[in-house]
Amino acid sequence: MLREDVACVAARDPAANGTLEVLMTYPGVHAIIWHRLANRLWRARLRFAARFLSWFARAVTHVDIHPAATIGRRFFIDHGAGVVIGETAEIGDDVTLYHGVTLGGTSWAPGKRHPTLEDGVLVGCGAKILGPITVGKGARIGANSVVVDAVPPMMTVVGIPGRIVRAPAERRRVSGRIDLDHHLMPDPVGEAICELLDRIDFLEARLAHRDGRAPHCPDFIPEEAVHEPA
Ligand SMILES: CC(C)(COP(=O)(O)OP(=O)(O)OC[C@H]1O[C@@H](n2cnc3c(N)ncnc32)[C@H](O)[C@@H]1OP(=O)(O)O)[C@@H](O)C(=O)NCCC(=O)NCCS
């Protein structure tokens, strides 16, 4: 596992120059090595030793991983600093975190209170994922996002609170002329423009209807458009 943890860095960081450099100078790699050992101690019920090792790793790397956290294979924390991973966090294989990521809890009640990240998730720098939610396979969390709801697989989420920015085709909102709904972020200006375009289409169609001539944009104005939009 440790060999895989080191080897996966080359594929995910173009700045990496060989195994020795990664092994000696990457705090994120040091953090996962210490965590693998601390987790062993934790599972062997050597709780104080595990906590002490985690504390030491944190002092050296600025990455705070609770020894009970479950972390899969080929895990990579780029830059290391400021990462916090809580006790009941579960992380799948091939997950990448950047600096400043928190996988945190939202309750003081014992039990599962930290997120689950499925295989292949990428979490951008400064993002916070809070609560016992699941981030689905291959999902990507934007830098500085705050995610408090489950994320379906393969989605990209950005913002505070985190919103999915890739709209499935059936949810796209298209004005008479222009597709303004290229993502699911709240966009009041886009909505206002969409309504204005619909209104212009309606007025043009009504004028054309009154004058008995072809509408200006026949491709986009169906017969029903001569009725006022809601
Ligand atoms: C979220 C992320 C993975 C999306 O990448 P992508 O799939 O290429 O998506 P795009 O860049 O096309 O962005 C999609 C939309 O989300 C917006 N967006 C992207 N990242 C965002 C972020 N962190 N916060 C807010 N909005 C963001 C873009 O402006 C774009 O909006 P638009 O459609 O209105 O133009 C990427 O932006 C990101 O944050 N990666 C983390 C990288 C990182 O932490 N690097 C640290 C290196 S040290």
Q: Are 229 and 198 in contact (CB under 8 A)?
A: yes
Is 138's pLDDT higher than 80?
yes
| Numbered ranges of CATH 2.160.10.10 in the chain | 2-166
Mutate to test the pocket of ligand 1, among 98, 141, 156, 189 (most ligand atoms within 8 A of CB): 156
Inter-CA distances, 64 with 69, 82, 166, 199, Å: 11, 8, 32, 55
Averaged confidence pLDDT in the chain: 86
Element (H, E) at 24: helix 19-25
**pLDDT value at 180 more than 90:** no
Given this model, what pLDDT does residue 161 score? 94
Can you state the percent helix, strand and coil of the chain, rounding each to 5? 35, 15, 50
pLDDT, position 126:
97
For residue 75, the model assigns a pLDDT of: 96
pLDDT of amino acid 156: 93
Run of H or E residues at 70: strand 70-71
C-alpha to C-alpha distance for 160 and 42, rounded to whole angstroms: 35
Ligand 1, from 9, 99, 102, 158: best to mutate by most atoms within 8 Å of Cβ?
Answer: 158
Per-residue pLDDT tens digits for 199-222: 888 888 888 877 777 655 544 555
For the beta carbon of residue 1, count every other beta carbon within 10 angstroms: 13
Q: Which CATH superfamily is domain 2-166 in?
A: Hexapeptide repeat proteins (2.160.10.10)
Sheet holding 63-65, edge to edge: 63-65, 83-85, 102-104, 128-130, 146-147
Residue 96 backbone dihedrals phi, psi, to 5 degrees: -125, 130
pLDDT at 168: 44
CB 183 near ligand 1, within 6 Å? yes
- In sign, the C-alpha dihedral spanning 101, 107, 111, 112 is negative
Tell me what percent of the residues of the chain surpass a pLDDT of 90: 66
| Residue 49 in contact with ligand 1 by CB distance below 6 A | no
Q: Ligand 1 centre and the CA of 39: distance in Å? A: 33
Pocket lining: 143 vs ligand 1, CB cutoff 6 Å: yes
| 63 CA → ligand 1 middle, Å | 24
User: What pLDDT is recorded for position 82?
Assistant: 95
Residue 223 has pLDDT above 70, yes or no: no
Average pLDDT, stretch 153-164?
93
Distance between CA atoms of residues 198 and 7, nearest Å: 55
pLDDT at 78: 95
What average pLDDT does range 155-164 have in this prediction? 94
Alpha carbon distance 224, 226 (integer Å) = 5
pLDDT given at position 167: 47
What pLDDT band is residue 127 in, cutting at 50, 70 and 90? very high
pLDDT at residue 166 tops 80 = no
User: Ligand 1 atom 41: the closest Cα is on which residue?
Assistant: 124
Q: Tell me the pLDDT band of 171, cut-offs 50, 70 and 90.
A: very low
